[in-house]
Structure 1
Amino acid sequence: MAARNRWRTGALVAICLLAGLLYVWEIGGGQLGNTYYSAAVRSMTESFSNFLFGSFDPYGVITVDKPPMALWPQVISVLVFGFHGWSLLLPQVIEGVAAVFLLHRTVRLWAGENVALLAALIFALTPVTVVINRDNNPDTLLVLLLVAAAYAVTRSVQAPSARRRTTWLLWCAFFVGCGFLTKMLQAWIVVPAVALAFLVGTTGPLKRRILDLLGAGGVLVASSFWWVALHDWWPGSTPYVGGSADGSAWDLIVGYNGFGRIFGGDQGGGMVIGTPNGETKSGSFGGDPGLLRMFNELVGGQISWLLPLALFVLLVVSVAGVRAMRRTAAGDPAGRAGWFLWGGWLLITALVFSFAKGIMHPYYTTAMAPAVAAICAAGVAVLWRWYRASDAWALLPAGIAITAAWAFVLVSRDTSWYGWCRWAVVVVAGAAVVALIVGRFSVVRRTAIGRPALAVAVAAFLLTPGVWSVAAATVNPNGNTPAAGPAIAPGPPPTGPAPVVQPGPGRRTPGGPGGPGLVIIGGGSGETKLTDEQRRILEYAERNGDGAEIALAVNGASGAVAPFIMETDSTVIGMGGFGGQDDVPSTDQLQRWVNDDTLRYILSAAPGQQTQPMPSNGARAAVQQKRQAWIEQHCTVVAPAAYGSKPPAASAGRPTVLGGAPDTLYRCGEQ
């Protein structure tokens, strides 16, 4: 027994080391993750107010479009080690490995040590989880907190006393609340599954269970909204909350980061194509909403490798559970709670992501990975037991065949990307299926042949996602839109002239040989370095700014502002937040800043340049145009020769640009 325990401990350590290696590999290779958040981390080190509210710029004008909890560990790391790529991403690595470890401890309580080890391995080798844990988006901390909530509710349903049951449930609510302060309403998606698992998994009086849930609801609200209340009721000035319509944290919750994600509203899907005649088309990062979104070309390779197996397991376990209820057979409440927890987590999250009409990045699906891992690991154990001792033995070979077939389909979508994997999976899984069938010929062979065949089947399950995960760890990631695997265009390319696009944080996806491509755009170019011209502009503005507190204001999406913040110690602010369309600073604020000598120089689009607002943004589209009009009316263009640059091309010959191009320096106020 001691030797077995040592082996299991060693296996867990090896899995955590594997996860850490995948997440940490070459993270100091120059990448800075998502530059929107990286710039905010740099700004948050400037003052306590910036740290508390998550200011994007060092002057505290506007926050990022999320609560700041995910950025706080990164700020602390930067304060200790300095501002570098590895110091930004090190907290993500730690959080990612902690999530793998904690998933193991959670599943072990529910389904045993071997199942827990397999769940941890599946989770560690999920491609979307690898890429997001090598980035500084908030999803890594969100997943860790949700797994912590799952651990707490599992401890709650297995608690030996009512008091401990209540205590652990309250901890569960607290962790979900912290998840809310990481990525708002996305954290609450798992709440129905958690509540249902607690109700069916505990054996105390129903009244006490309901009271416990009400108490947990109070903790959930308090831990979710304390920062919101702090910002909106702060007695002094606070930064405008990015992404909101009125600068309040509450509006961000119910709008852009809440119902806007589900119903779309005026935020669009995030992907834009511009054409020379000024027309624009919009789409979704994750493809068209619908029941099969999780399996499409944009999302499938990130999360869906074992999703068919997970759904298959949930189906057969549900049928078995219904049959047991009809026989009035005694059940295990804690075991039943685990299926409701992980099954509810997976199904609810998948449905929300599948039908969301707002912005839905494929990397959001990392929130499904713990549930997929837990269900598949436990499902393999259940199918193995049935294979050995019941008439339902064929379900195990069927599950293996389904998983291998789907892996073959996924890899076949682009055989230039490790295409050999599809045949390897077919061969390995086929051998496992044949061996399992042969093993049913006698009771002795079921173990002698079946056990090695099961190990081979698990290897087949993990082959393709493992290859994709290793590949994701050995390439320099796209920090703003991280994704594993090849770049795939979502649907047929548009016809006609090649599009003119605003530089975006994503990569250009191929539109076929010689054809136009699509560009995923968001907060700007995602560049991490200032150009020589941008440096000359900033130096000129500082030299001639008459001591203005704000050295330079950039009227453009956040990607155009981030390099100024990350690369210099100057007080540079952005206008309009992530996409450049928030009403901050307003034209009235700009006028006040100019009047009191707080601001002298603005970098914006050239006068008369045709600009096309981001589509499907309603009234927000007019904000950027109004600000540009104010700049042209109240400020004077600085001749490029003054800072050592050449004049830009004539505006009449310049292309339509989504959101404007901040390449022209203006001086505002008296000369």
Structure 2
Amino acid sequence: MSTHTSPAAGPDAPAQPQGGRHAAGPGRAGRDGGLGGVARRVSLGRPGDPRWARPGLWGVLALAAVLYVWALGRNGHANEYYAAAILSGTRSWKAFFFGALDAGSFITVDKPPLALWVMGLPARIFGFGTWSMLLPQAAAGVAAVAVLHSAVRRAMPGGYGHAAALVAALAMTLTPITVAINRDNNPDTLLVLLLVLAAWFCQEAVRTGRMRALVVSAVLVGLAFNTKMLQAYLVLPAFAPLYLVMAPGTSLRRLGHLLAAGAALVVSSAWWMVIVDLWPASDRPYVGGSTDNSVRDLVIGYNGLGRIFGSGGGRGGGGMGFGGEAGAWRLFNDIMAGQISWLLPFAVIALVAGLALTARGPLRDTRIALLLWGGWLAVHYVVFSFSSGTFHPYYSTAMAPAVAALTGLGGVLGWRAYRRSRAWSWVLPAGIAVTGAWAFTVLRRSTDFVPWLAWTVAAITVTAVAGLLLARLGPRLRLRVAAVALAAGLAAGLAGPAAYALTPLGSAVNGTNPTAGPAGSGGFGGMRGGFPGGAREGGPEGDGGPPGGTPGQNSQQGTTGDAVPGARYGLPADGVRGGGPDGAMDQQMIEYLRRNLDGATWLVAVSGAQGASSVILSTGLPVIAMGGFTGSDPAMTVDRLDGLVSSGRLRYVMTGGGQGGPDGGGSQVTEWVRANCAAVKASEYGGSTDRSLYRCG
């Protein structure tokens, strides 16, 4: 990890040109003018940059693009819940704005709609399909890597900054859970991009004291709030105190800047919420996930305190342990360790040692970056470890930028200390040793997954640590030996996450709970064949087609002519999930409903979003999810159902479905349906078993 920094000037000084392609000289300005000069700067970097810096960045971004895009089409609809909302948004601008699950705008999804907008606009332009929906996600993932690289590079001078940035970008690219989520349509991908951008501007604001950068950072956090609500605010305990303490200027000036940024944060966070809550409830969809049809309740409850404390009887969590039992070691358990924890020990060592190494001297920008990313990591670690509500492994992708940044900064600071200070020369070998030992532990938990890799990592780690220690004993070739040992240590530290990161490329993503790694490592992730797949057996095997497709069409159907919509997504062979005691709505029933739509807005009303999403994606028609995502939203009332039926907008209702929704057995809605609607016999639509389908008009 050598640099082009002049030894005389010291590594803290700006890098000096060393000749060759980046050397300044007569006529350089003229040669760099025009398109040719721009192309050279884009491909090779600025004058004075190390020769390897820009090509290395392009290489990492190319690797990220491959990991996030390869065979992306096989992921089909990914998370059908969000896919149905995206499809509905292509059919109705009202549904698009509110983030409604159905084009008739009966109920919204349980998140704000910004991520749906980002995926939905290409779907409106090119047609709804796998590629038009998921390619923006992959692009956002690559962009987040590039922004992180820029932030880390600006935190250290000269070649050291480029080296730290490259390591950070590579570490984030290879984070297994990040690869998995960037191939899915959950909102976390956009959340991470917006928060990394916010961190970039916050870092600049602290470094320069400029209010404009701080306000932009606040606006970006506000946009992130409109992606996943209160999770976006987890960065604020790191950002705000850092600016207040370390930014240039008087305390009063810094406080004034923070107040201005706070105002910008409120506006950029609340505008959509205010519009929705002020909109007449009778003329907009019910706010999914809320108890009182308000976004305010959704923010505080289901997507707020419910996630942390598990309150609400399952609404917003209820302690659903997709990521394992809450506690200090949650992120290191059998479910989570392979997703995010590989470099966590090194990041902690890097943070502590880095703050000590930069406590004095000229590395103020580096200290700012360490505090920013360290604060980010600490807050996320505490919340994710101890939250009692629903916790999915993919939430931890929000930790990846901080872990990666600290790894890059700490690794280079450790190398710098190793070369300069005998007292601190132990930091880098210790970090590599701990990282290798933890990687060996994680890999040995799944002994049938690349069984030779754990022992290879252990051997390389021992060699790297021994090389670094021996290189301190004698001057001969010690720098070269140490450099080789450092490279070996980096390879050992990234080998485990790289192996896990490759697995999502081998099969369809489990859209509702994407994970990476070998069979069983993802808990509820649903692995098969050693690769993460769908939660349903027999998921899609094709790799899909190009962007486009007709709204409502199976996005993997292409020209194969699947006879049954949804069959290639592992749905029941005779239809799609719906309501009813067996949880499925067969194809004959769907065709019967289509034939008898008779001008109604909704094809049918079912108990919850799982069944509704499948039918929406299969038919392209609006379907009511009476109980929302959890099946327990009080969205459907007797008066509302009576009004829909009386106006002719809804003719069929399917009760039951086993989700415990308001339409479940014994509820007022179900009693009204049974009292006022006629049961549809299986013989009417050609089925073999009677379902809980009722004709109400």
When normalised by structure 1's length, the TM-score is: 0.85
Whether the aligned pair in 2 keeps the contact of 1:20 and 1:97 (CA below 8 Å) is yes
SS at match of 2:341: helix
Cα displacement string for residues 258-315 of structure 1 (whole angstroms, at most 9, x for unaligned residues): 111111102439999xxxxxxxxx7411111111111111111100000011112223
Q: Aligned residue for 1:243?
A: 289
Structure 1: gaps (5+ residues): 273-281, 493-503, 509-524, 615-619, 649-662
Contact 1:313 1:379 in 2 (8 A): yes
Contact 1:61 1:585 in 2 (8 A): no
Q: CA deviation at 1:576?
A: 1.1
Residues in 2 aligned to 1:95 and 1:507: alpha-carbon distance in whole angstroms: 28
1:564 deviates by: 1.4
Structure-1 separation of matches of 2:200 and 2:284:
36
Answering whether residue 512 of structure 2 is matched by residue 480 of structure 1, we say yes
Q: Which of 379, 384, 395 is residue 415 of structure 2 equivalent to?
A: 384
Tell me the CA shift for residue 18 of structure 1.
0.5
Q: 1:192, CA displacement in angstroms?
A: 1.1
Q: Which of 471, 477, 493 does residue 461 from structure 1 map onto?
A: 493
For 2:688 and 2:165, locate their aligned partners in 1 and report how far apart those are by CA, in whole Å.
63
Secondary structure in 1 matching 2:509 = coil
Please tell me whether the aligned partners of residues 120 and 373 of structure 1 are also in contact (alpha carbons under 8 angstroms): yes
2:192 to 122, 139, 143: 143
What is the match of residue 298 of structure 1? 335
**2:426 pairs with one of 379, 394, 411:** 394
* Equivalent of 2:236 in 182, 185, 191: 191
Matched, 1:124 2:173: yes
Q: Secondary structure at the match of 2:211?
A: helix
Unaligned runs of 5+ in 2: 1-16, 23-48, 525-532, 538-567, 576-584
1:260–1:592 CA distance, 2 compared to 1 (3 A):
same
Match of 1:542 among 591, 594, 597: 594
Deviation of the 1:180 alpha carbon: 0.3
- Give the C-alpha shift of residue 7 in structure 1: 2.5
CA 1:372/1:252 → structure 2, altered by over 3 Å: closer, same or farther?
same
Match of 1:34 among 74, 79, 83: 79
Alpha-carbon distance between aligned partners in 2 of 1:428 and 1:645, rounded to the nearest angstrom: 62
Tell me the equivalent position of 2:7.
none
8 Å contact from structure 1 (residues 201, 336) kept in 2: no
- The whole-number CA distance in structure 2 between the counterparts of 1:259 and 1:507 is 31
How do 1:233-632 and structure 2 match up within 5 A?
233-235=278-280, 237-268=283-314, 283-320=320-357, 324=359, 329-330=360-361, 332-390=363-421, 391-488=423-520, 506=535, 531-532=574-575, 534-555=586-607, 557-605=608-656, 613=660, 625-632=667-674
Residue deviations 1:142-192, cap 9 Å, x none? 000000001111222233xx5xx1100000000000000000000000001
Which residue of structure 1 lines up, in the alignment, with residue 677 of structure 2?
635
Task: Give the counterpart letter for 1:423 in structure 2.
Answer: W
Contact 1:505 1:559 (8 Å CA) reproduced: no
Task: Give the aligned residue type for 1:293.
Answer: R
TM-score, normalised on structure 2? 0.82
Deviates more, 1:252-261 or 1:395-404: 395-404
RMSD over aligned Cα, in angstroms?
2.5
Structure 2 letter corresponding to 1:630: W
2 CA distance for matches of 1:644 and 1:622? 25
Residues 102-154 of structure 1, C-alpha deviation per residue, up to 9 Å, x if partnerless? 11011111121110011001000000000000000000000000000011112
Query: For residues 196 and 622 of structure 1, do their structure 2 counterparts lie closer, same or farther at Cα, with a shift above 3 Å needed?
Result: farther
Instruction: Provide the residue aligned with 1:497 in structure 2.
Output: none
CA apart distance, 1:417: 1.8
- The AA in structure 2 aligned to 1:284 is G
Instruction: Please name the residue that 1:153 is paired with.
Output: 202
Q: Which amino acid aligns with 1:435?
A: G
CA contact (8 A) 2:600 2:651 kept: yes
Identity between Structure 1 and Structure 2 (%) = 43
Aligned residues: 599
2:163 paired residue number: 114
**Residues 488 and 541 (structure 1), Cα distance of their counterparts in 2 relative to 1, 3 Å cut:** same
Deviations 1:574-609 (A, max 9, x none): 211112211122221111122222211112339xxx
Q: How far apart are 1:545 and its partner, in Å?
A: 4.2
Q: Residue 692 of structure 2 aligns with which residue?
A: 664
Is 1:23–2:68 an aligned residue pair? yes
SS in 1 for 2:155: helix
Taking structure 1 as reference, are residues 6 and 530 closer, same or farther at Cα in structure 2, changes over 3 Å only? farther
Check conservation: 2:87, 2:620, Cα contact below 8 A: no
- Alignment check: 8 A CA contact 1:31 1:479 kept: no
Q: Does 1:227 align with 2:278?
A: no
2:73 aligns to what SS in structure 1?
Answer: coil
1:107 and 1:623 map into 2 onto residues whose CA distance is 57
Describe the shift of the 1:491–1:571 C-alpha distance in structure 2 as closer, same or farther (beyond 3 A). Answer: closer
Which residue of the partner structure matches residue 68 of structure 1?
113
Is 202-211 or 218-227 further displaced after alignment?
Answer: 202-211
More deviation in 225-234 or 527-536?
527-536
Distance 1:470 1:355, change over 3 A: same
Match of 2:98 among 53, 70, 88: 53
Instruction: Tell me the distance in 2 between the aligned counterparts of 1:491 and 1:564.
Output: 28
Higher mean C-alpha displacement, 177-186 vs 380-389: 380-389
Q: After TM superposition, give the deviation of residue 389 of structure 1 in Å.
A: 1.9
Q: Does 1:203 align with 2:248?
A: yes
Distance apart, 1:200 and its partner CA: 3.4
Task: Quickly say closer, same or farther: Cα 1:623–1:238, change in 2 above 3 A.
Answer: farther
Distance 2:436 2:403 in 1: 16
Closer/same/farther in 2, CA of residues 52 and 545 from structure 1, 3 Å limit: closer
- The C-alpha deviation readout for 1:318-365, integer Å capped at 9, x for no partner, is 4556xx5xxxx4554332211110000001011001011111101000
Q: Is the 8 A contact 2:612 2:624 kept in 1?
A: yes
Shift of 1:471: 1.7
- Aligned equivalents of 1:154 and 1:623: distance in 2? 55
Contact 2:307 2:391 in 1 (8 A): yes
> Secondary structure of the residue that 1:449 maps to in structure 2?
helix
Distance in 1 between residues matched to 2:185 and 2:250, nearest whole Å: 44
What is the DSSP-based 3-state SS (H/G/I as helix, E as strand, rest coil) of the residue aligned with 2:102?
coil
* Per-residue Cα deviation, 1:522-552 (whole angstroms, up to 9, x for no partner): xxx9866883463321221232344323221
2: distance between equivalents of 1:87 and 1:547? 30
* Counterpart-to-counterpart distance in 1, 2:442 and 2:75: 31
Q: Which amino acid aligns with 2:199?
A: A
Q: Distance in 1 between matches of 2:274 and 2:626?
A: 25
Deviates more, 1:418-427 or 1:450-459: 418-427
Pick closer, same or farther for the CA change 1:392–1:34 going to 2, 3 Å. same
Once residues 338 and 613 of structure 2 are traced to their aligned partners in structure 1, the CA distance between those partners, rounded to angstroms, is 30
Do the aligned partners of 2:355 and 2:370 also contact (CA within 8 Å) in 1?
no
Shift of 1:450: 0.4
Instruction: Output the amino acid matched with 1:571.
Output: P
1:520 maps to none
**1:107 and 1:213, CA in 2 relative to 1: closer, same or farther beyond 3 A?**
same
